[in-house]
Every structure is written in structure tokens, then in C-alpha cells.
Structure 1
Amino acid sequence: MDVLSRPADEFVNDETLEHMWAARAMEHSDIYFNVLCSVDTRWLRLTPHDDLIYTHFRQDFSDLDVKYIKEDEIKNNTNKARWRLFCEKFKTIVEDYSFGTLMRADTKGDYSEENTILVPRVQFYAIEIARNREGLNNEVKKRYKCASKSNLQTEHKTEVAV
């Protein structure tokens, strides 16, 4: 008998895997926030596919104000379906495109319980690439003292694997 055809209530979440995912997600958010503190984000590249992601994002979500993301707006039934179609475009392009990733709701804030939303990786990329290119993430350097300040004056493109 195929294991996937068995009733869902026979399966339980592996707590160890959940803890490993949470640790990885937190590590990713810490690294990304420190990068925001260190560079001019208008030149920051998150993936080799930033241009493609940004173009499709602004075509599909031209009216989305990325300065402050309201979780209930991006996760309501209508927008959830729109985001699913968007994400699927990158299934074979962006590694771990659907991996759960922590994103700040408000560009003015740090990662915190009140200011963090769980989203698919490519949705994080789309919104953060827009925030970076539109100059919204440059406020982080001014508002927070992060661990790494070595590249505050960087004006060239920086490629970071986040």
C-alpha cells in the first residue's frame, strides 16, 4: 500500500524537523538583517534571478505597497491564489522556492514576533527585492546598529546568498 494514500491522522509532525526549520529560518533572518545594515540595498542582489523576479512581481502585483505588508491581505483567499500562481512561475528557477521564510511586515522594524510573517521563499525574494530597489530597506542602516558595519559605504553591487 502506498504510504501517501494512508489517512493524514496517522502522521505526526516530527518535532526535531520543526526545530531544525525554525533554527534555519532564524539564522537566515539574522544574516539578512545584518546585510541590510551593511550595504546600500539599492545595489543588493539576493539571487541571480532578481531582475526576472522583480519584473514578474511588479507585473502581477503593481498595486502592492511593500513598505508595510499586512499578512491578512497577502494571505486572504483571493491573494493567496494570486501568490500561488506567482510562486509556481519560479518552481524550476529558484532553489527552495516554496521553503518557509521569515519576512518583516514593516520595513521600519526588525524581526520580532509582531513584525514577522512566514512566507514562501520566492515571495520573500519578490517583496525584499522590491523593497531594496525602491530604497525602502535603506532605513535599516539608519535605525539599527547591526553586527556588521564594515560595508556601510558600499556603492557596488553585492551578491549575497540568502
Structure 2
Amino acid sequence: MAVNFGNEIGADGLLAAASVLERPADEFVNDTMIEELWAIKAFEHAEIYFNLLSSVDPKILRLTKLDDQLYKHFRETFPDLSVASVTEEKLKSAEAKELWRSFCEIYKDCVEDYNYATLIRLDSSKEYSEANSMIVPRVQFLAIELARNREGHNDLIRSNFKPKKLQSRS
């Protein structure tokens, strides 16, 4: 992914952004700077997560303290959802949104940043790119990636991709 937001803002700006982004969402109007800061945070998370997938066996990754519960609940709620490849329609149709909203709200008080905008890969066999990414709430990302890790859909990432040096954000 060739996006490089961090060099324009610098370390001080990113630290300030982190404190601003912790404020309640209803305090913000459609501010393009806030949207850019959310995008930066989502992109940094994606880089780190993909490097983890490129470095270790995904089956041993622990994403939260609630991995087992989250995965079990996900498969009970979405037993037929193929996580190898997802589409915007599968995740964001009116029907899907209603199911996902109920699913995510259960984790409001027990998964940190449960509703943060997080990038997910549409096709689990490929890396993050503009064409292969979509923004979802963090809990939705966690549920799908736990399924991908446990069901073997991320197994070939280590063979096909090497960890990348993270870009300096200062």
C-alpha cells in the first residue's frame, strides 16, 4: 500500500491525534483532518497486522483476551460466511449491517476500541491495497481475522509475503 500519511504530520502530530481520537465521536463534525487521522491510524494498524501475519503462524496469534468467545460467537452468528474472501455487499448490505451492529455492540464494554475504523483485506490471500481493503469496525475485523487464522485462510501469507520495514512516522 503506497499511502504515506505520517511524514506530513510528524510524531508530535500523531501523538496529538491519538489524544483527540479518544474523545467522544459526537464532538466531531465532518472534519477532513479528523478523517485523515483516522485513516492514518487504520493504515498503521494494517501494516503492523500484516507484518505479524508475514512473520508468525497465524494459528498461534492471539488478537484479544476474548479470542475463543469472539470466534465462537462469530461462527454461531455467521455460520455460512466465507471469510477467505469477503465483499462489501456481504458485510455492508442492509441485512448484514443489522446483524453486524448487534454483534459488535455485545463487545462494546469488553473489547478496547471495539468500534474503531479498521482496514480489512477483502481477499485473505492478498496483501493490503486500495483495491483489496475496506474499512470496518474493529470487532468485525477481529471476528473475521480470527476465523481466517483458525480456519487456515491466512496460512500462506508467510510463504508469499515477507515482513516489511515499517515507515518511520517522525
TM-score (norm 1): 0.82
Instruction: Determine which of 40, 49, 61 is the counterpart of 1:23.
Output: 40
* Distance in 2, Cα, partners of 1:107 & 1:15: 30
Q: Which has the larger radius of gyration?
A: 1
Partners of 2:85 and 2:115 in 1: how far apart? 22
Aligned pair count reads 138
The structure, 1 or 2, with the larger RCO (C-alpha pairs under 8 Å, 6+ apart) is 1
Unaligned runs of 5+ in 1: 1-10, 149-162
Are 1:147 and 2:164 counterparts? Answer: yes
Percent same amino acid at aligned positions? 51
Compare the two structures and name the one with the higher helix fraction. 2
After the TM superposition, list the runs of 4 or more consecutive aligned residues in structure 1 that deviate by more than 4 angstroms: none
Matches of 2:90 and 2:129, distance apart in 1: 19
Matched residue, 1:50: 67
TM-score, normalization by structure 2: 0.78
| 1:117 and 2:127 matched | no
Question: In 2, distance between residues paired with 1:74 and 1:13?
Answer: 24
**What CA RMSD, in Å, does the superposition of the two structures yield over aligned residues?**
1.2
Which of 125, 131, 156 is the equivalent residue of 1:108?
125
CA contact (8 A) 2:55 2:162 kept: no
1:18 is displaced (CA, Å) by: 1.4
Match of 2:10 in 1: none
Using the alignment, how far apart are the partners of 1:144 and 1:95 within structure 2? 29
What are structure 2's unaligned runs of at least 5 residues?
Answer: 1-27, 166-170
